[in-house]
Structure 1
Amino acid sequence: MMPRSGGCTDGHLLVLPRGHVADFTVDPVVSATTQHRAAELAAEIRRPAADEYPGPMSDPARSVALPPRTLATPSHLTVRSGGRPAESCDRQHSAGTLSTDRRVRPSPTAWQGHHEHARHPVEAAAPAAAAQRPRAPGQSGRYAYPVRSYAHELRIQGHWDEAVTLHECALEAATRAGDSLGQGLAAGNLGSIQRLQGQYAAAVRSQQRARAAYWDAGERLGEANAVHEMGIAQRLCSDYEADRTSQEQAGELYRALGNTFGEANTLHELGTMYYLRGDLRASLAVQRRALAKFQEHGKPYGLAFAYNEVGLVSCLLGDYPAAATHIAHGMSLHGELGNRFGQAYSLKDLGVVEYLTGDHRAALATLTSAVEQHRELDSRYGMGLALTELGTAHRLCGEHATALSTLLQALSLHREFAFRHGEGRTPMEIAVVRDLMGDRTGAQTDLDQALRTHTEYGHRHALTETVLARAELLLRHGETDAALADFRDSLTPARDIGAPLLEARATEGLAHCLLPTDPTTGLARLREAEAIYRRIGAPDLARVEEALRGR
């Protein structure tokens, strides 16, 4: 790789990363890694005769040097044309990314890519990249294939900027070579990372490019994966119908290939989409099917996230013990896989269960840990989700000023990523806090914003919750007639979507509105609310029991 700005001795090539260490001795691992890649480049330039290096090195790697931006090299490190290739590392690449070129086979020796105390995931992945060698110079996929060894480690550890650099380089190399399969691999991996970074429109475009490239290469499994990933990005753009269509198309492709693991992934995504739309029973049914398929095929990565989703939906359906159990299973699996990204989401989900079951201080600690872990990973989308729940926990602990500050941070992040569900849910929480702090005008403005967002995007659960929040605000200020109408409007959808906590809150609100004028009906409603709170184990039960004792 020639430096674009010159500065290299004539007759030499330089492996040129984006950063530098002061000299060769500052960081031996970085220096050694750079030398390793320089040797790979030398192997690309000078391909020795087949009998010169026996075994795996008989056909040296034909790849470009692809150093991630945090792996630096001293500026004086150079490699002469004709340099000797690096010693072969006969190890298998990390699991978790699709091998679509069936003519390329990694060595059977397992590479343990997940090291909890590794200084940087690329340091563990770098030897594996050198081992992924195509069998013949003309094979498709040869430019992108070495990059795949890095991809999984970079993804699960949150080093997404480095991953983008790798995949962009691979995509450029594959495009120049006219390598359709390589383009599909690189564009698909790039789109996945762009999605994690919150660049959803860019992610959709990358997956569209991957789909077209896979089609040209006749690689139907890659095409299915690209369509599936494209749907996830569409869902994050709040285009739920497009996501549904993409997942149905991907599912058809997977079924035609007999790929039940791919089917499990599409089911998992459909379950997430149903959850956001408020179709909780449908979400749980689909997520359980996905969970069973992941268990059947022993896919721990998908299984861990399926446990998270089943736990989250179970929580909204009022089954808190099941929610806690599934989330704990997911967190344990994420830990075994070294997936800090998944662990952060598990912490967020666990915190929600804790505050819904009344353990507000525990929730505060758990959600603080979730926010910090997302911050360390630079997962701004995940941090926004965790901050919304943390703000709710602060409110429940009576820390209103801190709650407001936290929720405003969350809203800023949701707007940054155009995450519409968060742009509705968070203003609702802000409205509750503002009202408790005496800012009723601000609270009403935030509630109006939340109602508009959820109505526009069809978030049934969130919309019902927001109408309830408005009703409770009206009741606190003595506007009983207006509150009564909102409680009635929220009761039917709460029952329809199977959200017992919302149903209980609506029923309790109706009771308090009716008690002054119709005590018999009001008491009946209050007892209905008591029964629901008792059944799901909600801490609100104590409040209703006290109200009944006063009667």
Structure 2
Amino acid sequence: MVEITPEIVESALKDVRRGMRLRSSPLIGLGSLRRGGARSEPFDGDAPREHGLRDLLCRLVAEGLAAARGVPARDLLDGRRPDAAVEAALAADFAPGDRDREAWSVLYHRYTAPVPLDVQAIAALTQAPGARNPERQIRRRCVLGFDKLAARLRELEREAAPDAAPGAATVSVPDAGRHNLPPRRNRYIRHEVVLAGVEALLGDARLLTLVGPGGVGKTRLALELARRQLPRWPDGVWFVGLGSVAHGDDLLPAVARVLHLHDGSEPLSLPRLVHRLMGHRMLLVLDNCEQVLEACATLADAILQGCEAVSIVATSRERLNVAGEQLWDVPTLEVPAVEGPAGSPAAVDPEALLHAEAVALFVDRVVEVNHGFRLDARNAADVGRLCRHLEGLPLAIELAAGRMRALSVGDILAQIEDLLGLLTHGAKGMPDRHRTMRAAIGWSHDLLSPPEKAVFARLAVFRGGWSFEAARAVCVGGPIAAGDVLDGLGGLVEQSLVEADVVGDMPRYRFLEPIRQFAVDRLAADGAADGVRDLHLAFFAALAERAEPELTGADQAAWLARLDRDYANLVAAMDHAVAVGDAEGGRAAVPETAHGEGDDPEGGAADGSARVTTGLRLAAAMWRYWDARGNQADGRLRLKRLLAAATADTPDAVRSAALHAAGVLAMIASDEADAVALLEAAADLRRKTEDWQGLGRTLSNLGAIQYRRDDLDEAQRLYAVGLSAARRAGDEWNVTNLLLNMSMVSLQVNDLDAAEAQLTEAIPVFDRMGDVVGMAAARHRLGLLYYRLGDDETATAELRTALAHFEHVGHRYAVAEVRRDLGSLSHVAGNYVAAEREFKRCIEICAAVDNRWVASLALAHLGQVMSDIGRGDEALAHFGHAWKMAVGCGNTHAQGEALNGIARTRLHAGERAEARVVLCRCLSIGTTVRSARVALPWLATAIRFLALDGCLPQAARLYGLYRAAQMRHGWRLPPAQEAELAGVAETLPATPAEDAVTPETELQVALDSLRCRGNQRPSDA
């Protein structure tokens, strides 16, 4: 049998194009050539077969293109055409957006046309609509064409295969094609690697069972495999559909009818059927074995033992469990990675999207019912999202495609929570179980035992998957004992209603979404939804509380990953806690503490206050997770809803923990007003309840807000009071955390010895506790200290170490901060390329986690880099963006940096009047800043402006103030800015150095010098 692959077809077509001999092509041995193909006589000898192969390839390409165009094939085989006709035909082939037509067209015009064209010419003539790289699109169409031509040649080979080996006995069956396989209704879509993998298994095993949930495509895959196997089986490939076989006793008659083995003269028995099959080489396809599983297993075992040349492909929702059985879990179709809500923008290449099997199937089936549909930039993202929601389940995709006669993709996505109501009205002629998604799943559900049905229904409360521990906590109670959960879950996996994966060394389970929605309906029908959801909430509240202390310990990376896996469940639990009624039917309430095994979820539920309390416990324990994952917005929303639902019965300890969590997330999100209100409320409750540990942690965050506001005295006071509370509570972690915060104040006021002492005390404690995040934060601060001490090499090494730790645990907020500081260090060192790279990475991360505070400063610093290297327009754009963002989040430091950058860039451009206005505004902000180091670059710009404006005495005085402050604070300008200032200094008269005590002194002097035209607000900002 000749192997026919797209690569072999490509090689032959290249020889045809070049007019070369085809004797070396493997296709020269095609059976269709030996039998004469479409001719009346077979080809004999190499030369005739070469001509026959050339004719065959040209004819098949012409027929493929002609069919796509809807014209007779002879129109393409008659000879030359005028160039204009060729150009018009090519343009017409590419106009409708039909990939198949384009593929046949490229094959024809590139290889078999009377005057072949090269790829560049075809791309130019077709103008490849919508393609960014037209030549690449043409080459892709070539590849698709090779696949199609190879498939057509394989079909011809099957038709031309000999009926049977000489002398072999034959089963008394119709000899037309030696099979009873139904014709394809439409194109089969699976990647070739999947089909080849399944086919290879059948070569190694005589019983191959294709298992999977209803609608995953087991029958279609079995039929496609059977068609590919036709040449291998002289006595045929026979399909036995068991969908209507309700009892095991009816199995043998069904098989006998297909094989024409029973004439009624003798009773039919299994030994007699096996005897009749002995000596034959055939493949049996037993479809839908699950409802007569034992009978199918018995039949398969008997055939394997008694008929050595008969093989079986079975489809079932669970294994036959026969010796020698090879299993293949039929996978869902590949789906694209397109996220976001329906209609939201996404950069999606429609051409690339079609490489995903699910999208290719959807588009193919939509075109059947809506001929005008085309996948394009407008709908591609939503098509990708829909295929992801449908989890690549072929039946679901085909049913959704059928809805496209009357609905848009967006309309379907809007109803995605009602998949079972949406996915109905399958094609006529299909089995009833495949005409709706509900029927397909119900077919499997009806085969479950009562305990399995009960477990199946209760598992509906999970979102995104679950562990066995979670399943036991939620399912045990009422009629379900602990042992029923293990057996029931195992049975559901065996019957393909639950997917099982191994995460690490632990199994994890999940429903495909249509099956989950079916289970939700079953749970509502059972009347136990309220109690089961209560157990679900209680379990995940306990999980979050177990995780909270671990998120500052040695295993924090593992716990973050665990919360990642269960985040959908945690969200569902919090949603349930504030729901007036059950989200999917029925009123719900949640107990304050978790049920133990054996508690009855069908019993009375606790009141709404207890349910909200449990939800608050869960959410309060989650804030570190939300911070680490940069998902502060979701955390704030959920805490706000739960706090609003709290009642007078909510315990103070629970309420204060939730207020604290909401306040910290508000601070991280740069909403300082909300953060202060929430944290002060939490502090009041914690003082009232004498919760010294909680109070210390709340005061630490209030101090951090004052630090941001440059009120360093108040920040230090709050840190000191918080440190006292933490020591009183024996809270070693927060004592160390407060030392870390105090080191930042010490750095700002230039007390480097104090900063070093505080960090030296903190680092060993974090190391001993195994707190990776705390250690990384300390290393970050240590890097800043070494920078201030002038040791750039050690500073960079410490920052890189901190970055590695933060990236290890996925703490994107902190990663952004470290990258910003690495950018600043590179900028001061004159490495503008590295500075630009780090600032841009910082800004990208900030955009993903909505960190406007850090992003606004990084944007201003990026603008300074652009200004230093002469890219003034880009610099101004970055400064403008930074200003708007900084005003929105209240970051005065970033506001000043942006205005200073605008002023410098205007000075570079010779726009002195505009620069004066902007600089006045910058210095006005500077007089409110308590950190001299922050304001020094602004002072340098003022000195340069005054010198250029001829105010040399004022500039000289400011320069003396600047140098004194620079020496105190160890401040350095980037090389370009330092060179600018040095050039100005050479023109200034000598003045005695002044030892300015505060930044306000220096900046107020500068501002007074500039206010000759009044203090104006810049239009640029």
Same fold by TM-score greater than 0.5: yes
Partner of 2:821: 349
Q: CA deviation at 1:328?
A: 0.3
Q: Give the distance between the partners of 2:885 and 2:772, measured in 1 at CA.
A: 30
How much does 1:421 deviate? 2.0
Q: How far off its partner does 1:179 sit?
A: 0.7
Task: Give the one of 557, 567, 581 matched to 1:122.
Answer: 567
Aligned partners of 1:143 and 1:174 also within 8 Å: no
How far residue 433 of structure 1 moved from its aligned partner, in angstroms, is 1.4
* Alpha-carbon distance in 2 for matches of 1:238, 1:33: 52
Q: 1:297 to 1:284 in 2, by over 3 A?
A: same
Amino acid at match of 1:404: L
1:70-219 aligned within 5 A = 80=524, 82-83=528-529, 85=532, 93=544, 97=548, 112-115=558-561, 122-123=567-568, 142-148=614-620, 150-219=622-691
Aligned to 2:330: none
Deviation at 1:117, TM superposition (A): 13
419, 429, 442: which one pairs with 2:891?
419
8 Å Cα contact 2:933-2:969 kept in structure 1: yes
Distance of 2:953 and 2:756 partners within structure 1: 36
Q: Is 1:368 matched with 2:840?
A: yes
Residues 940 and 962 of structure 2 are in contact (CA less than 8 Å); yes or no, is this contact kept in structure 1?
yes
For 1:497 and 1:388, how far apart are their aligned partners in 2? Answer: 22
Question: By how many angstroms is 1:148 displaced?
Answer: 4.3
Q: Is the 8 A contact 1:318 1:500 kept in 2?
A: no
Q: Which residue of 2 aligns with 1:399?
A: 871
Aligned to 1:245: 717
Contact 1:33 1:126 in 2 (8 A): no
1:261 to 696, 719, 733: 733
Rounded to whole Å, the distance in 1 between the matches of 2:864 and 2:566 is 35
Name which structure has the greater RCO, CA cutoff 8 Å, separation 6+.
1
Query: 1:326: how far off?
Result: 1.2
> Residues 286-317 of structure 1: CA distance to partner in whole angstroms, max 9, x if unpaired?
44443343234322112212222332343344
Which of 1 and 2 has greater Rg? 2
- Residue aligned with 2:870, SS: coil
For residues 377-392 of structure 1, the aligned pairs below 5 Å read 377-392=849-864
Q: How many residues align?
A: 473
Q: How much does 1:495 deviate?
A: 1.9
Residue matched to 2:461: 35
Residues 505 and 405 of structure 1, relative CA distance in 2, 3 Å threshold = closer
Is structure 2 residue 884 aligned with structure 1 residue 408?
no
Correspondent of 1:441 among 884, 889, 913: 913
Determine the C-alpha separation between the residues in 1 that align with 2:861 and 2:691.
42
CA distance in 2, matches of 1:442, 1:96: 55
| 8 Å Cα contact 1:228/1:250 also seen in 2 | yes
User: Do the aligned partners of residues 287 and 390 (structure 1) sit closer, same or farther apart at CA in structure 2, a change above 3 Å counting?
Assistant: farther
1:442 to partner: Cα distance: 2.2
Q: Which moved more, 1:493-502 or 1:432-441?
A: 493-502
Whole-Å separation in 1 of the counterparts to 2:562 and 2:912: 49
TM-superposed CA distance for 1:464, in Å, is 2.9
Find the aligned partners of 1:485 and 1:321 in 2 and give their Cα distance: 34
CA contact (8 A) 1:421 1:459 kept: no
Contact 2:591–2:611 (8 Å) recurs in 1: no
Deviation at 1:249, TM superposition (A): 0.6
Q: Is the 8 A contact 1:151 1:163 kept in 2?
A: yes
Decide whether the 8 Å contact of 1:92 with 1:110 is kept in 2: no
**1:364 CA drift (Å):** 0.9
CA drift at 1:190: 0.4
Give the C-alpha shift of residue 512 in structure 1.
Answer: 6.0
The partner residue of 1:326 within 795, 798, 807 is 798
Q: Residue 580 of structure 2 corresponds to which residue in structure 1?
A: none
Give, in angstroms, the shift of residue 200 of structure 1: 0.6
Contact 1:447–1:470 under 8 Å retained in 2 = yes
CA contact (8 A) 2:476 2:482 kept: no
Given the superposition, is the C-alpha separation of residues 468 and 512 from structure 1 closer, same or farther in structure 2, using an over 3 Å criterion? closer
Runs of at least 5 residues in structure 2 that lack an aligned partner in the other structure: 1-413, 423-457, 467-471, 486-512, 575-589, 597-605, 993-1021
- Alignment-mate amino acid for residue 347 of structure 1: R
Higher helix share: 1
**Two-structure CA RMSD over aligned residues (Å):** 4.8
Separation in 1, partners of 2:824, 2:562:
27
Q: Which amino acid aligns with 2:819?
A: L
CA deviation digits over 1:228-264, x for unaligned, max 9? 1122223334433322221111000111223232122
**Seq. identity, %:** 16
- Shift in alpha-carbon separation, 1:111–1:517, aligned structure 2, 3 A: closer
Q: 1:180 to 1:20 in 2, by over 3 A?
A: farther
Amino acid paired to 1:242 = E
Is the Cα contact below 8 Å between 1:191 and 1:206 reproduced in 2?
A: yes
| 8 Å CA contact retained: 2:830, 2:975 | no
Which stretch of the first structure deviates more once superposed, 217-226 or 329-338? 217-226
Distance 2:929 2:459 in 1: 48
Which of the numbers 221, 226, 229 marks the counterpart of 2:693? 221
CA distance in 1, matches of 2:989, 2:650: 78
Q: 1:22: how far off?
A: 4.3
Q: What amino acid sits opposite 2:462 in the alignment?
A: H
Moved more, 136-145 or 386-395: 136-145
Whichever residue aligns with residue 762 of structure 2, its letter is A
Letter in 1 for 2:532: P
Residues 224-303 of structure 1 mapped to structure 2, 5 A cutoff: 224-276=696-748, 282-303=754-775
Q: 1:329-364 CA distances to partner (integer Å, 9 max, x unpaired)?
A: 111001111111211112111111111111101211
Change in Cα spacing, 1:116 to 1:354, as seen in structure 2 (3 Å) is: farther
Structure 2 equivalent of residue 462 of structure 1: 934
Distance 1:303 1:143, change over 3 A: same
Rounded to whole Å, the distance in 2 between the matches of 1:38 and 1:335 is: 25
Superposition pairs of residues 399-548 of structure 1, within 5 angstroms: 399-476=871-948, 479-499=951-971, 513=985
Name structure 1 gaps, 5 residues minimum: 1-18, 27-31, 57-70, 100-108, 522-551
**Which whole-Å deviations, capped at 9, do the CAs of 1:45-66 have from their partners, x for residues lacking one?**
9996899769x9xxxxxxxxxx
CA offsets, 1:101-160, max 9 Å, x none? xxxxxxxx9993434996x87248669999995589999974432224543332221222
Give the whole-Å Cα distance in 2 for the aligned partners of 1:199 and 1:308.
24
Q: Distance in 1 between matches of 2:528 and 2:712?
A: 55
Asked whether 1:304 is paired with 2:730, we answer: no
Q: 2:828–2:972: 8 Å Cα contact kept in structure 1?
A: no
Do the aligned partners of residues 227 and 74 (structure 1) sit closer, same or farther apart at CA in structure 2, a change above 3 Å counting?
Answer: farther
Equivalent of 2:808, from 298, 321, 336? 336
TM-score with structure 2 length normalisation? Answer: 0.41
Report the residue type matching 1:374 in the other structure: C
AA at the equivalent of 1:198: S
Relative to structure 1, the CA distance from residue 433 to residue 312 in structure 2 (aligned partners, 3 Å threshold; closer, same or farther) is: farther
Q: Is the 8 A contact 1:281 1:498 kept in 2?
A: no
Structure 1: how far apart are the matches of 2:691 and 2:611?
A: 14
1:275–1:141 distance in 2 versus 1, CA, 3 Å: farther
Distance in 2 of aligned mates of 1:310 and 1:211: 30
Change (3 A) 1:481 1:506: farther
